[in-house]
Structure 1
Amino acid sequence: MPICRFPLTAAALALSFASAAQADEGMWTFDAFPAAQMRKDYGWAPDTTWLDRTRAAAVRLTGGCSASFVSPQGLILTNHHCVVECAQDNSTDQKDYLKDGFVPARREEELKCPGQQAEVVTAISDVTGRVKAAIGALSGEALVKARNGVIAQIEQEGCTDAKTTQCEVVTLFGGGQYKLYTFRKYSDVRLAWAPQFQAAFFGGDPDNFNYPRYALDAAFLRAYENGKPVKVASFLKWNPRAPQVGEATFVVGNPGSTQRLFTSDQIAFQREVSLPITITTLSELRGRMISAMDESAQQKREGADGLFGIENSLKVYIGRQKALNDPDFIKSLADVEADIKAKTLGKQGVGDPWSDVGRAVKAYRDIYLPWRYITPSGTLMGYAKTLVQGAAEREKPDGERLPGFSQSNLALTEKTLLDAAPVYPWLEQIELAWSLSKAREYLGADDPDTKLMLGKEAPEALAERLVGGTTLADPVARKALWDGGSTAIAASTDPLIIYARGLDARERALKKLVDERYAGPLAAAGAKLADARFAAYGDKVYPDATFSLRISYGTVQGWTERGQQVEPVTTMGGAFDRATGAAPYDLASGFVASAVKIDKAAPFDFVTTNDIIGGNSGSPVIDRAGSVIGAAFDGNIHSIGGNYGYQADVNRTVVVSAAAIQQALEVIYPAPGLVKELKGK
C-alpha cells in the first residue's frame, strides 16, 4: 500500500466514533451479523444460508492477509502484495517473478509458498463462560496463566486432528467474550498466477492510501493436499462485471487490529510513547535499507519486499500519529468515553474499569522499553528464539506453555520455522544491527539490558559476527535443533543459539512483569468495559478487529474531497492517461505490450463504504447475489483514522475489480487455464 497525499485535517478526522454502530460501520463477527440494521438501511439483508455459504469460502492466510476460494479446484483469490514474499522466495537473479510476473503454463508449475497456510472457519462457538470461570477472581500474572491454560485446553479438545484442523480461541471486547474458532487448514499453498509488481503497485509510494488508483493488486494461489489441488465444496462465483454505483457490497475477511475500544489512557500511551518511537526507528531502518539496496541490483531485488512493508507501515503509523495529535479528534474520542461513563460508571458489576486501565498503562510505561527491545530483529534471530523457547516449552504440560507452543499452535509454529525460504545475510545484518543500536539508544549504554544484549561489542560488529557464524539459514540445521530439543539446544555452539540462550531468562522475566502489571489487569478491566458497553448500548456494538473472520456491508460510492467529487470507479484507460513514463508512474511492460488489446473503458479500481482495516487485504468484495466482483487491497487516506473510528462520508475501501483481473487474465498476462476454470469449465 502506497503514500498519504492528503493531510489528516481536523475536519477529515471528525470520525463518528459511534457509541453504537451507525450505517455501514462495523467489522461484524459472522455469528452476530446485524441483519435487522442492514435490512433497515438497505431494505434487504443476507439470510443464514447466504452467510454460511460465504463464510465457508472465506480464507485466512498466515502471512496476515485475507482471501477466498473462487473455484472447486482450490483456486484462491487474494492481493498481489499478499504473495510478494512467495514470489520473491521463489525468484533468483536469473528469474525475477516480481519484475516479470508469474504465469505458469500448467498447474504442475505452480510454486510452493514457504510458511504459508490457508485457513477456513468451519465453526464458531462461545466459550466465554468456561474461560471466565477459570479466571475467577484471579489477577495479574495468575490471571494470564489461568486464561492461557484453559484456552490451550479448549483448543486441544476442539482439534484432535492437527494435520487438517486448527482451533483458536479469539478474545473479543478486550476480554468481554471468548469464542472458539475451528478452522480447516491447508498447509500446502502454491502461487498460481501473479502480474508484474509494477502493474500491481502502479503509482508506487505516492499513490498509497490514495485514490483514484490504477493498481492491478491481485493474484491467485491454490491450496493443495497430498500433492493435489484440494476439492472445495464452497467457493464464490467469479463475476467480472462492472461495479454499479450505489449497489450493496460485502467485504469478508480478517481485519488485523483496531483500537476503537481503547480508553483515553491507552490512546495517550500510543500518542506519547509507542507511535513516536516506532515512526522514528522505522524511518531509520528505511534509510539503511535504501542505502544498502543501492549497492547492487541483487540487493535491490532481495530487499524489495522488506522495504515495501516498511514504507507501508510508516504510512499507517504517521497517519495514526497525525490523528492522535489533532485536538478535535481527541475530543471526539473523549466525548464517547464520557458518554459511556455517564451511563455506567459505578453501577453494579461495572465499577471503574477506566481507572484500572489507567493504572495498568502507567505501570507499562516503566517496562515498555526493555520489553520492546529485549529480542532483536531479523528472520534468523526469530528462528533462534523459536528454537530456544520451543525446546523448553515442549517439555511442559500443554496448559503451561507460552503462546505459540501449545499443541493447537505447534504445527504452524513448526511449519514457519522449518519451511525452506531464502535468507539474505546482508539484510539480516542490517535488521539485527539496527534493532541493537536502537536498544542502546533508548535504554542507554549503561542499562543492564543493553549490556546483556551487547556485552562489549558494537551493534554492527555483533550483528556481523552472529549472522556470519550461524547455520540457521539452513532448514536442515534448524530441523536438527528442533528435533533434538533441549539437549541439542544446550549443546549447540551456533553463535546465534548461544546468544538467544543468553537472552531467554531476561525475556521470560520481563514477560512475567508485563503479565503481572499490564496484561492481567487489562484483561480484567476489559471484561468490565465490555459489560459497560453492552449495558449502555445493548448488542448494537461490534468488537475491535483481531485478525479473526468478519463481515462488513456498504455500497459502491465516491466521496467529496476538498469540495470536489471523487468518482468511485476508474478505468483501464485511466492508467495510460496517468502514466508519465517515469517511476513510479511508468506502465508495466505487460500493459505497454498489450495496449491495443486492452478495453480502455473497462473498470479498473473502485471504492466502497465498507469498513475495513489492515488484514483485510485480499478480502473478496461480494455483491448481493453472493458473487465476487473484486478484491479489497487498500483504503483511502481517511481509512487510517479508521483505526480509532469510522466516518461514513469519507472512509473508503479501495478495490481492484474482477473486470480488471479478467482483462489481465485474458490479454495482458494470458492464463487461459485460469480463465476456463473461473468460468466453471
Structure 2
Amino acid sequence: MKFLKLLLLFVAFQMQAQQGGMWIPSMLKGMNESEMKSLGMKMSAQDIYDVNQSSLKDAIIHFNGGCTSEIISPKGLLLTNHHCGYGEIQKHSSVENDYLQDGFWAKDLASELPNPGMVATLIVSIHDVTTAVLEGVMQLPSEAEKQKRIQENIARVQATFPKEKWQDNRIRVFYEGNQYILFVTETFKDVRLVGAPPSSIGKFGSDTDNWVWPRHTGDFAMFRIYAGKDNKPAEYSKDNVPYTPKHFLPISLDGVAEGDFTMVFGFPGRTQEYLPAVAVEQIVNSLNPAKITIRDAALKVQDGFMRKDQAIKIQYASKYASVANYWKKWIGESQGLKKSNAVQIKKDFEKEFQNRVAKSGKSAEYGSLLANFEKNYQEIDQYALARDYFVETVLRNTELLSVGFRLYQLEQVFKARGEQAFTDRKNNTITSLEGFYKDFNAKVDEKVFEQLMALYTKNSPLLPTDIKALDIKKTTALVYGKSKLTSYKGTQELLKGDAKTVFKNLNKDAGYQLVKKLADNFYNTISPKYDEINLEIAALQRTYMKAQLELFPDGRYFPDANSTLRVTYGQVKGYSPSDAVYYEPVTHLEGVLEKYVPGDYEFDVPAKLIELINKKDYGQYAENGKMPVCFIATNHTTGGNSGSPAIDANGNLIGLNFDRVWEGTMSDIYYDPAICRNIMVDIRYVLFIVDKFANAKHLIDEMKLVHPKKQASTSK
C-alpha cells in the first residue's frame, strides 16, 4: 500500500512536470526543451530566448506593470486583453463618447489616444547574480541582518551591472531566496490606445462568466508603442514615431485542434506552489472566507447603484470588475483546493519529505522544519486574519477610508523625514487624487462603508473595545455628513498650508479621525507581530525550498511566479469537471447567441455582430463554416498572464490568454492537470472583430498572417 501511494505521488508529479510550471526562458535548454518537443514544439530554445539574435522574447511586453502584451506588427502594434486596458478605455470615455459601451477604433496613427503614465517594458537580457547577492549573507546571525545585507547587495549589483543609459537593471528573488536573477529592461513611456471592441464583446459574460468555461468573450484591445526617432524609449511627444521591434509575432490562421502544442509567454504575477499543508489549510478555512465575505458585500452595493444609473456604471465599471475578479477567484480556489484534496496530498508529500530527511542524515538541518511551520502558522493566524480585514476594508474596498489612509501616510512621512518630504508627497497626492475623485461617488461609498464596517467591527480580531463598540449607522452618518474627504474640493482644503496647519485640520475631520484610529491599531497591534512571524515563516520557506531541491534531486521544481518573464507549455485539451460532464476545448460564435439577453449589461450582443452571425459573414477567419471564439489548454497561468500570447509549435500567435477555468483557479497553490485549464481568445476571432465588425482592415494589413499547418502539409 505504501509503495502504491508513492507510485501515485510519482505519477502525479510527472503529470505536473509535463503540464505545469512557469519556466525562466533563458534556462529552457535541456530538459524543458526536450519536453516541449515531445509535446509537439518545432522550435528550439534559442528561438524563444536569444540575447544576440532576435527571438520570441523580443515581442513580449510587460504591459503597464500588471498584464502582458505582445507586438504583432513591424509598427509596434500591441495586443493585450480588454480588461488590461479597461482603465484607460474608461478614462477616455464619457456619457457622450462611451468607448466602454460603443468601442473605439483609431482610423489612423493621428487618431490614436495617448495614455499618460502607461508603460510597456521589454526584457533585453537575463542574468543569474545569486553569488553576488548572497555575498557575506549566510554567516550573519539573524534573519533581519541577512535580509538587510541582501538588500544592500541587490542595490550594489543593480547599480553596477553593465547596461545602456536608457535601460534599467532589476533583480528578482527566485526559489524563496535561493536564487537571484537580474533582468536588463527597456521601458517605453508613450503607449497609445489603438482600438477596443465594445464591452458587449470585450467583456461578454462579464462577472457571471468570469473564471468560467465555456466562454465566449472577445477579451482583447490594441495599443501601440511609440519611441523617439532613434527608436529608443521616450516620454510622450507628438514627434514620436511607432516603435520598430526586433521581433513581432506572425499570426496563424490555421486555428487549433485538441492535442496541439501551446506555449504561453508572459509575466505571471504570483504563485505559492510550495507552501506546507498547514498554510493551505489557513487559506481555505480562514483567510479566503473572510475576504470573500467582505468583497461580496461591497459588490452587492456597487451593483445595485450601477444597474440604476449609467453615469455611476461608467464611474464604477473598472473598480467593480477589479473587486469582482479576485472575489470570484478566491471562491473557485477554495473549492478547487478542497475538491483536489490538495491539503492531504501535501501532507502525504510531507511524510515522504520527513522520511528522506531521516535517511539522508539531515535531521539536524531539516528535521524540525514542518513542526516549526505548524507553530508559526498557529501564531500568525489571528494577525493574518486581522491584516486581511484591514487591507480589504480600509485600503481596497472603502474609498473614503483608502483616501484617508493616504493622508495618514503623509503624517508618517512628516514625522520620519520632515517638512520638505511632506510637502513633496502632499503635492503628488493632491495631483493624483483629482483622477480618483472623478470616479468617486459618495452615495455609493457611504453604503459600502456601512456594510463593510459592520463586518469589520464584528469579525476582525485584535480590535480595541472602542472600535468594536462603534454604532455603525451613527458613524456612517457622521463621516459622510461631516467629513471633507467626501469630495476633491474638501480634500484640497484639508491639505492647504504647511504641515502643522494640515494636521491640525485633518485631525478635526471625522473621516480622518476614524482612519487614524484604525491605522494606529493596525500599526501598533497587528503589523509588527505579523511582520515578525512572517519573517520567520519566510526563512523557513527558503530552507524548505532548499531541502526539497536537495532531497528530491530528480524532481522538477520551477520557481514561483513573481511578475518576471516566464514560459509555460501544454496542449489544447478539454476536461471533465464533474461526473458525466465533459467540456470540449473550443467554443464558437453560435454560443454567443445562445447566451444573448437583449439589454442585459452582461449578455447583450451588438446588432452588427448578430447580423454578421446570421449571414455567417466570417471571411477568411472561419473554420468549416463556424467562427471559433475561445479555446482552453493545459498551460499553467495566473494573474499577470492576462494578455499573454498563446503561441503554436512554430512560434506563431494563435490566441490571447485571459482567464482560467473556475475549477482550476487553485493552480496558484496546487496545479492539478486533470482540471486546471487556461482560457484564450482564438486569434481568428480577434481578427474577425477587427476586420468585419470594426471595419479596421488597415490594422489587419499591418500584420503578417500565415498558414503553418497548410504549409507543413504541402511540404510533405
After TM superposition, give the deviation of residue 198 of structure 1 in Å: 1.0
Identify the residue that residue 641 of structure 1 maps to in structure 2. 666
Matched to 1:290, the amino acid is: D
Identify the residue that residue 62 of structure 1 maps to in structure 2. 64
Residue by residue over 1:559-580, the C-alpha shift from the partner in whole angstroms, topping out at 9 and shown as x without a partner, is: 3454455332233344335535
Identify the residue that residue 229 of structure 2 maps to in structure 1. none
Matched to 1:362, the amino acid is: Q
User: Which residue of the other structure, out of 299, 314, 334, is the alignment partner of 2:312?
Assistant: 299
After TM superposition, give the deviation of residue 542 of structure 1 in Å: 0.5
Q: 1:434 to 1:186 in 2, by over 3 A?
A: farther
User: Which residue of the other structure, out of 610, 634, 654, is the alignment partner of 2:679?
Assistant: 654
Matched to 2:13, the amino acid is: A
Identify the residue that residue 529 of structure 1 maps to in structure 2. 544
CA RMSD of aligned residues (A): 3.9
Bigger mean CA deviation after superposition, 229-238 or 606-615: 229-238
User: Which residue of the other structure, out of 73, 76, 80, is the alignment partner of 2:75?
Assistant: 73
Matched to 2:439, the amino acid is: V
Matched, 1:608 2:633: yes
After TM superposition, give the deviation of residue 295 of structure 1 in Å: 4.0
Residue by residue over 1:548-594, the C-alpha shift from the partner in whole angstroms, topping out at 9 and shown as x without a partner, is: 22111112232345445533223334433553547344323341244
SS of residue matched to 1:356: helix
Q: 1:112 to 1:514 in 2, by over 3 A?
A: farther
Matched, 1:287 2:300: yes
Matched to 1:546, the amino acid is: N
Distance (whole Å) between structure 1 residues aligned to residue 285 and residue 71 of structure 2: 42
Identify the residue that residue 442 of structure 1 maps to in structure 2. 459
Matched, 1:192 2:208: no
Bigger mean CA deviation after superposition, 274-283 or 505-514: 505-514
After TM superposition, give the deviation of residue 23 of structure 1 in Å: 1.2
Identify the residue that residue 693 of structure 2 maps to in structure 1. 668
User: Which residue of the other structure, out of 238, 246, 249, is the alignment partner of 1:237?
Assistant: 249
After TM superposition, give the deviation of residue 223 of structure 1 in Å: 2.5
SS of residue matched to 1:22: helix
After TM superposition, give the deviation of residue 486 of structure 1 in Å: 6.8
Bigger mean CA deviation after superposition, 240-249 or 212-221: 240-249
After TM superposition, the structure 1 = structure 2 runs for residues 230-629 of structure 1, keeping only pairs within 5 Å, are 230-245=242-257, 246-326=259-339, 328-344=341-357, 346-347=362-363, 349-374=365-390, 376-377=394-395, 378=398, 381-382=401-402, 385-386=405-406, 389=409, 417=432, 420=435, 422-426=438-442, 427-443=444-460, 447=464, 450=467, 458-459=475-476, 461-463=478-480, 465-466=482-483, 468-469=485-486, 471=488, 493=506, 495=509, 507-509=522-524, 510-518=526-534, 520-538=535-553, 540-560=556-576, 562-563=579-580, 565-579=582-596, 581=598, 583=600, 584-595=602-613, 596=615, 597-599=617-619, 601-629=626-654
What is the number of equivalent residue pairs in this alignment? 648
Identify the residue that residue 97 of structure 2 maps to in structure 1. 95
Residue by residue over 1:86-144, the C-alpha shift from the partner in whole angstroms, topping out at 9 and shown as x without a partner, is: 11122112221111011122333323345532222223223333444465344455555
Matched to 2:22, the amino acid is: M
Distance (whole Å) between structure 2 residues aligned to residue 85 and residue 24 of structure 1: 33
- Asked if the contact 1:631–1:656 (Cα under 8 Å) also holds between the matched residues in 2, the reply is yes
Q: 1:445 to 1:370 in 2, by over 3 A?
A: closer
Structure 2 unpaired stretches of 5+: 1-8, 227-233, 620-624, 706-716
Identify the residue that residue 4 of structure 1 maps to in structure 2. none
Distance (whole Å) between structure 1 residues aligned to residue 265 and residue 431 of structure 2: 26
- Asked if the contact 2:643–2:656 (Cα under 8 Å) also holds between the matched residues in 1, the reply is yes
Structure 1 unpaired stretches of 5+: 1-13, 398-404
Residue by residue over 1:37-58, the C-alpha shift from the partner in whole angstroms, topping out at 9 and shown as x without a partner, is: 3344547552224323222221
Residue by residue over 1:210-238, the C-alpha shift from the partner in whole angstroms, topping out at 9 and shown as x without a partner, is: 33322111111222334224524234323
After TM superposition, give the deviation of residue 429 of structure 1 in Å: 4.2
- Asked if the contact 1:439–1:450 (Cα under 8 Å) also holds between the matched residues in 2, the reply is no
Matched to 2:475, the amino acid is: A
> How many percent identity over aligned positions?
22
User: Which residue of the other structure, out of 40, 44, 48, is the alignment partner of 2:46?
Assistant: 48
Q: 1:237 to 1:351 in 2, by over 3 A?
A: same
SS of residue matched to 1:59: strand
Distance (whole Å) between structure 1 residues aligned to residue 182 and residue 502 of structure 2: 34
Q: 1:213 to 1:374 in 2, by over 3 A?
A: closer
- Asked if the contact 1:58–1:68 (Cα under 8 Å) also holds between the matched residues in 2, the reply is yes
Matched to 1:28, the amino acid is: W
Matched to 2:381, the amino acid is: R
Distance (whole Å) between structure 2 residues aligned to residue 487 and residue 386 of structure 1: 17
- Asked if the contact 2:333–2:662 (Cα under 8 Å) also holds between the matched residues in 1, the reply is no
- Asked if the contact 2:135–2:153 (Cα under 8 Å) also holds between the matched residues in 1, the reply is no
Bigger mean CA deviation after superposition, 179-188 or 276-285: 179-188
Distance (whole Å) between structure 2 residues aligned to residue 42 and residue 284 of structure 1: 47
Q: 1:444 to 1:550 in 2, by over 3 A?
A: closer
- Asked if the contact 2:16–2:671 (Cα under 8 Å) also holds between the matched residues in 1, the reply is no
Matched to 1:523, the amino acid is: A
SS of residue matched to 2:290: helix
After TM superposition, give the deviation of residue 180 of structure 1 in Å: 2.5
Question: What TM-score results when the alignment is normalised by the length of structure 2?
Answer: 0.79
Distance (whole Å) between structure 2 residues aligned to residue 173 and residue 59 of structure 1: 24
After TM superposition, give the deviation of residue 622 of structure 1 in Å: 0.9
- Asked if the contact 1:17–1:333 (Cα under 8 Å) also holds between the matched residues in 2, the reply is no
Identify the residue that residue 402 of structure 1 maps to in structure 2. none
Identify the residue that residue 25 of structure 1 maps to in structure 2. 20
- Asked if the contact 2:281–2:343 (Cα under 8 Å) also holds between the matched residues in 1, the reply is no
- Asked if the contact 2:291–2:388 (Cα under 8 Å) also holds between the matched residues in 1, the reply is no
Distance (whole Å) between structure 2 residues aligned to residue 113 and residue 556 of structure 1: 36
Q: 1:289 to 1:593 in 2, by over 3 A?
A: same
Q: 1:42 to 1:469 in 2, by over 3 A?
A: closer
SS of residue matched to 1:94: coil
Distance (whole Å) between structure 2 residues aligned to residue 255 and residue 79 of structure 1: 14
Q: 1:187 to 1:492 in 2, by over 3 A?
A: farther
Q: 1:178 to 1:467 in 2, by over 3 A?
A: farther
Distance (whole Å) between structure 2 residues aligned to residue 185 and residue 125 of structure 1: 18
SS of residue matched to 2:295: helix
Q: 1:487 to 1:631 in 2, by over 3 A?
A: farther
- Asked if the contact 1:436–1:454 (Cα under 8 Å) also holds between the matched residues in 2, the reply is no
Distance (whole Å) between structure 2 residues aligned to residue 629 and residue 274 of structure 1: 38
Q: 1:259 to 1:244 in 2, by over 3 A?
A: same
Bigger mean CA deviation after superposition, 214-223 or 413-422: 413-422
Identify the residue that residue 9 of structure 1 maps to in structure 2. none
- Asked if the contact 1:20–1:537 (Cα under 8 Å) also holds between the matched residues in 2, the reply is no
Distance (whole Å) between structure 1 residues aligned to residue 253 and residue 669 of structure 2: 34
Question: What TM-score results when the alignment is normalised by the length of structure 1?
Answer: 0.83
Distance (whole Å) between structure 1 residues aligned to residue 611 and residue 144 of structure 2: 62
User: Which residue of the other structure, out of 37, 41, 45, is the alignment partner of 2:35?
Assistant: 37
SS of residue matched to 2:104: coil
Larger relative contact order (CA 8 Å, sep ≥ 6): 1
- Asked if the contact 1:252–1:552 (Cα under 8 Å) also holds between the matched residues in 2, the reply is yes
Matched, 1:116 2:118: yes
- Asked if the contact 2:433–2:488 (Cα under 8 Å) also holds between the matched residues in 1, the reply is no
After TM superposition, give the deviation of residue 342 of structure 1 in Å: 2.3
- Asked if the contact 2:114–2:193 (Cα under 8 Å) also holds between the matched residues in 1, the reply is yes
Distance (whole Å) between structure 1 residues aligned to residue 473 and residue 314 of structure 2: 34
Q: 1:191 to 1:574 in 2, by over 3 A?
A: same
After TM superposition, give the deviation of residue 477 of structure 1 in Å: 9.3
